[in-house]
Amino acid sequence: MSINTYEKEFLETLKKISQYEQAINVMYWDMRTGAPKNGEEYRAEAIGQLSADVFQMRTSKRMKELLDHLWEQKDSLPHDTQKAVEEAKKEYDLNSKIPEEEFKEYTTLTSKAESVWEKAKKASDFSLFAPYLEKIIDFKKRFITYWGYEGHPYNALLDLYEPGVTVETLDSLFAELRESIVPLAQKIAASQKKPDTSFVHEHFPKEKQRELCHFFLKELGYDFDAGRLDETVHPFQVTISQGDARVTTAFNESDFRSAVFGTIHECGHAIYEQNIDEALSGTNLSEGASMGIHESQSLFYENFIGRHQGFWKRYFHKMKESCPEQFEGVTADGFYRAVNESKPSLIRIDADELTYPLHIMIRYEIEKAIFSGEVAVEDLPKLWDEKYEAYLGVTPPDDAKGILQDVHWSGGDFGYFPSYALGYMYAAQLKSSMLNDLPEFDRLIENGDFQPIRQWLTDHVHVHGKRKKPLEMIKSATGEELNVRYLIRYLEDKYTSLYL
């Protein structure tokens, strides 16, 4: 068998996997956007079967043979194949190092744990969830030893979502960020200059919101020939295949902000996916570089464009046309201030862009403590509350609004949270670099001329898919290592002008 035959079979397997994933993603999207409830159980089973088949293809003996052969002669492979082999090998190693029986037990545990977490959250009682969390943590600790790690054991988990990012990196980035934004948030909380947000909770009909979401997606350059917008309960972006990157949104009739900014956020994810090099289609490189890089694109659209003063100078009249009574007496500038309100809060997903990173730091520090064995599960709620008090000056009244608020741990997704904060840092650094090429950035937004911005992001980020690792991507896009100063400067400038 020549190397080309191995390469061919390897790429064919990746393609088959991508087709199975297409099926899984359509089934998932459908389940979350209107599939009838009586079919749910059968749907979950079918998704389970196809996922198991994908797992099998990724970890088969034949895959190992292919990877071994290709790895030996990696240097003679085309560049994209090399990267695809690296990616597939990483996946293979992660999955094959865990004993099959143990992985099955873990999968069963996490699928049960999610509904236990739901019940515990409803009852606002951490003790119901604690035994499950404890077992999940035990599994994860064992997985970490199977996988191996350098430095802190938590590095093994970080690497799952943000390859190359370590505790050492994050400790230093977060320390710097914390030093700036904790005092800034405190000054804002004490400031007398508060925006008037009374109008945001007036009734805004769903159909009007839907029209607006379509309008903004079109304006921002989302390609409706390569996607669609649907309603759901917990919004997400899902890529079905090349040429099909969908967005979903939820409509809250007493707060238009969730649909408007939620849609712009998912739009950022989707525009990323719509602009990945088509040459990567059907391979494991036809996706975002990492969770954090993906989040940088959604945050760029949501915050740097969607919460930009110029954006609402241009588009506030659209809001007014949709609901004239709601916005009577509100100016474009007043609207801009209201949708940029900042205040310390208990719930991460409702947080504004200034205080959001603090919610992430709290989770990061707690997860790190869990995996270095510094905290017991039973002590987590206390630790959680102390950190909220210290960083945000608020104290959760109960577990539901505290430690039980996020679903992630019930699925074993430790190491995931930091990517959200990294997304902010990546986005700010990219924007700073973009300003060198597009010094007229503010004017472009005010004119609704998003094409040059989109093109810059496509050239520097989107097109590369998963060819580059996140920190490598930032380095090549901005000419500099990851630097948290760009985010700090952005937040200081914006919130000083808004509040101080």
Single out the segment in contact with a second copy by CB under 8 A; choices: 39-47, 103-111, 249-257, 436-444. 39-47
CB of 461 to a second copy, least distance (A): 21
- SS3 category, 229: strand
Rounded to whole angstroms, the Cα distance separating 212 from 259 reads 9
Closest CA to 19 of 274, 225, 293, 244: 244
Angle at CA of residue 371, ends 366 and 375, nearest 5°: 55
389 binds a second copy (CB under 8 A): no
Nearer to a second copy, 124 or 281 (CB): 281
CA 212 to chain centre: 24
Residues facing residue 172 across a β-bridge? none
CB of 27 to a second copy, least distance (A): 5
241 binds a second copy (CB under 8 A): yes
Q: Is 317 annotated as a binding residue?
A: no
CA dihedral 100, 102, 105, 111 (to 10 degrees): -80
Listing from the earlier edge strand, what are the strands of the sheet with 229-231? 229-231, 244-249, 237-241
Site for a second copy (CB under 8 A): which residue of 36, 78, 324, 479? 36
226 binds a second copy (CB under 8 A): yes
CB 273 within 8 A of CB 245: yes
Active site residues: 266
233 binds a second copy (CB under 8 A): no
253 binds a second copy (CB under 8 A): no
400 binds a second copy (CB under 8 A): no
CB of 22 to a second copy, least distance (A): 4
Site for a second copy (CB under 8 A): which residue of 202, 223, 253, 398? 223
Q: Is 367 annotated as a binding residue?
A: no
244 binds a second copy (CB under 8 A): yes
240 binds a second copy (CB under 8 A): yes
Site for a second copy (CB under 8 A): which residue of 50, 116, 189, 375? 50
Rounded to whole angstroms, the Cα distance separating 217 from 246 reads 11
Give the distance between the most distant pair of CA atoms in the chain. Answer: 75
Site for a second copy (CB under 8 A): which residue of 75, 225, 325, 328? 225
Site for a second copy (CB under 8 A): which residue of 20, 92, 149, 215? 20
Rounded to whole angstroms, the Cα distance separating 309 from 474 reads 26
Burial of 83 (C-beta count, 10 Å sphere; 0-12/13-18/19+): buried
Nearer to a second copy, 35 or 438 (CB): 35
Site for a second copy (CB under 8 A): which residue of 59, 155, 242, 340? 242
Give me the numbers of helices (H) and strands (E) for the chain, helices first please. 20, 3
Decide the pairing of beta strands 244-249 and 229-231: parallel
Q: Is 265 annotated as a binding residue?
A: yes
> With contacts defined by CB under 8 A, how many residues of the chain interact with a second copy?
36
41 binds a second copy (CB under 8 A): yes
19 binds a second copy (CB under 8 A): yes
401 binds a second copy (CB under 8 A): no
Number of C-alpha atoms within 13 angstroms, CB side, residue 199? 20
CB 251 within 8 A of CB 210: yes
38 binds a second copy (CB under 8 A): yes
43 binds a second copy (CB under 8 A): yes
What residues make contact with a second copy under the rule CB under 8 A? 16, 19-20, 22-24, 26-27, 30, 34-43, 45-46, 49-50, 223-228, 240-244, 246, 281
Query: Binding site: what residues are annotated?
Result: 265, 269, 295
